[in-house]
């Protein structure tokens, strides 16, 4: 069935990007300079605040904005 195949492909894609995101977060937290895939600006770790309990990884433009509670 075509629909089942598409769904499986979608799940695979999601799992891959989830793992990529985790790897990226680890690198940034380790002090590596990682560039945003969209704007090619360095990603920064933002410390936890009242708004962001776990902190986040973000570029200056905001096209990359990852909450750390998924780790």
CB of 31 to Zn ion, least distance (A): 19
Residue 45, beta-bridge partner list:
57
Q: How far, in Å, are 10, 25, 50 from residue 20 at the CA level?
A: 15, 9, 27
Q: Which stretch binds Zn ion (CB under 5 A): 12-20, 23-31, 46-54, 58-66?
A: 58-66
- Minimum distance, C-beta of residue 15 to Zn ion, in the bound complex (Å): 23
Q: Which of residues 29-48 bind Zn ion (CB under 5 A)?
A: 36, 38-39
Under a CB-based contact definition with an 8 Å cutoff, are residues 56 and 66 in contact?
yes
Say if residues 57 and 44 touch (Cβ distance below 8 Å): yes
Q: How many of the chain's residues bind Zn ion (CB under 5 A)?
A: 7
| Interacting residues with Zn ion (CB under 5 A) | 36, 38-39, 59, 61, 63-64
């Amino acid at each position: 069935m075509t629909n089942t195949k598409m769904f499986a492909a979608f799940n695979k894609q999601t799992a891959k990007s989830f793992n990529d995101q985790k790897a990226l977060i680890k690198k940034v937290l380790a002090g590596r300079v990682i560039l945003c895939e969209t704007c090619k600006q360095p990603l920064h770790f933002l410390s936890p605040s009242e708004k962001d309990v776990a902190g986040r990884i973000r570029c200056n433009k905001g096209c990359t904005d990852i909450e750390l509670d998924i780790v």
